[in-house]
Amino acid sequence: MNHQPSATAAKIVIGISSCLLGDKVRFDGNHKHDAYITGTLSQVFDFVPLCPEVAIGMGVPRPPIRLTGDSQAPRAVGVKDPALDVTAALTAYGRRMALELEGISAYIFKGKSPSCGMQRVKVYGGGAPSTQGVGIYAREIMARQPLLPVEEEGRLGDPLLRENFIARVFAYRRWQDLLASGFSVGKLVEFHARHKYVLMAHGSVYYRALGRLVAEAKSQRPGALCERYGAEFMAALRRPATRKRHANVLLHLMGYLKKHIDGGDKAELVEVIESYRLGRVPLIVPITLLKHYFRRFPDDYIAKQVYLNPHPAELMLRNGI
């Protein structure tokens, strides 16, 4: 099983805990179906469902497991029978699937699971349980695919985390497409230019740092340059954008219209951007107004920018942030 991205694929391929799709693979024979995932997200994602506990032969139903010991290196053992230790099996399966799934563009994990939780999983010891654990299987996937956007289903209920995750998925897919087409300095320069305002929304320091990396591209080995840029690019996007930084980007974009719109239109745009910065309207409001003006007064540079269209409009992700 090798899921390689394709520039012609209609949907982006992502891994997912199969219980979230409604598969009855939980320890008690139930599921954790998530309607948002199977409804809205299924419009743009193709899912590769996996349940590591079933995959290692634990069956359904099965004895429940939990993490115990050191939160930095916990063991996955039976709740009722601590002699049941599946740590090695889950670790080996995670390492194998990290290789087999190297072409996916994201992963949605089941939160709080001793196998699939990506953070804050309970680890039981002598006293009160710690909440610093990571699921054994999820840990291996994340360690071996460090650029891969990952999230838990519960956190997708937060509009900011949801938009950030899905924006990262589409950004990572664009990066994968660049690599699949054959990496070159010229393509990197174009990629960086297209993501200028996306990066600025997450922090201008990232855009400047990556810009310096691109400027020094010819003095670096292509392989090392590619690896470093990809890592720093995805790390930048993990930092959530803020209203203040978005407002700064919106004002920069407005600057490309200053020769085309009159004083009244400029005042309206500034007022809408300020209303967004103050939290009175969602991001979609100034974005829609800017798109209206750029349809009337096209700009070749802005047309290439990802910022105005980072993900499909039908997901309505900017309506709630």
On whether residue 7 sits in a domain, the answer given is no
Alpha helices in 101-158 (DSSP H): 136-144
User: Does residue 37 contact residue 20 with C-beta atoms inside 8 Å?
Assistant: yes
Residue 3 has pLDDT above 70, yes or no: no
Residue located via tokens 């996937």: 141
pTM recorded for the entire structure: 0.94
Mean pLDDT value of segment 187-198: 97
The reply to whether 214 and 301 lie within a common domain is yes
Asked if pLDDT for residue 2 goes beyond 70, the answer is no
pLDDT for res 1? 44
Residue 148 sits in the same domain as residue 183: no
CA triplet 163, 144, 75: central angle to 5 degrees? 100
**Same domain, yes or no: 111 and 163:** no
Q: What is the pLDDT of residues 117-155, one digit of tens each?
A: 999 999 998 789 999 999 999 999 999 999 999 999 999
Using DSSP's 3-state secondary structure scheme, residue 208 falls into: helix
Q: What is the pLDDT of residues 44-56, one digit of tens each?
A: 999 999 999 999 9
pLDDT at 208 over 50: yes
pLDDT tens-digit profile of 224-255?
999 999 999 999 999 999 999 999 999 999 99
* Domain membership of residue 200 as a residue range: 158-321
Is residue 226, in this structure, part of any structural domain at all?
Answer: yes
DSSP conformational letter for 282:
-
Please report the pLDDT score of residue 303 as a whole number: 97
User: Is 101 in the same domain as 184?
Assistant: no
Residue-level pLDDT at 184: 95
Same domain, 214 and 152: no
Is residue 127, in this structure, part of any structural domain at all?
no
User: Are residue 142 and residue 173 in the same domain, yes or no?
Assistant: no
Q: In this predicted model, what pLDDT tens digit does every residue of 57-113 receive, in sequence order?
A: 999 999 999 999 999 999 999 999 999 999 999 999 999 999 999 999 999 999 999
Size of the chain in residues: 321
Average pLDDT value for the chain: 95
Nearest Cα to Cα of residue 74 among 53, 59, 91: 91
Say whether pLDDT at 4 is over 70: no
One domain, residues 153 and 272: no
In the chain the beta strands, taken as DSSP E runs, fall at 12-17, 45-50, 65-68, 75-78, 107-109, 121-124, 130-133, 150-152
Same domain membership, residue 147 and residue 183:
no
Residue 80 belongs to a domain? no
Residues 95 and 225 in one domain: no
What percent of the chain shows pLDDT beyond 70?
Answer: 97
Is 166 in the same domain as 47? no
**What is the pLDDT at residue 263?**
97
Specify whether 183 is located in the same domain as 309.
yes
Number of structural domains in the chain: 2
**Looking at the predicted structure, is the pLDDT value of residue 210 above 90?**
yes
From CA 206, how far away is CA 194, in angstroms rounded? 14
What local confidence, expressed as pLDDT, does residue 7 receive?
37
Give tens-digit pLDDT for 147-177: 999 999 999 999 999 999 999 999 999 999 9
Per residue in 271-306, pLDDT (tens digit) is 999 999 999 999 999 999 999 999 999 999 999 999
Would you state the pLDDT for residue 206?
A: 93
CA distances from 140 to 107, 134, 295 (A): 12, 10, 46
pLDDT of residue 59: 95
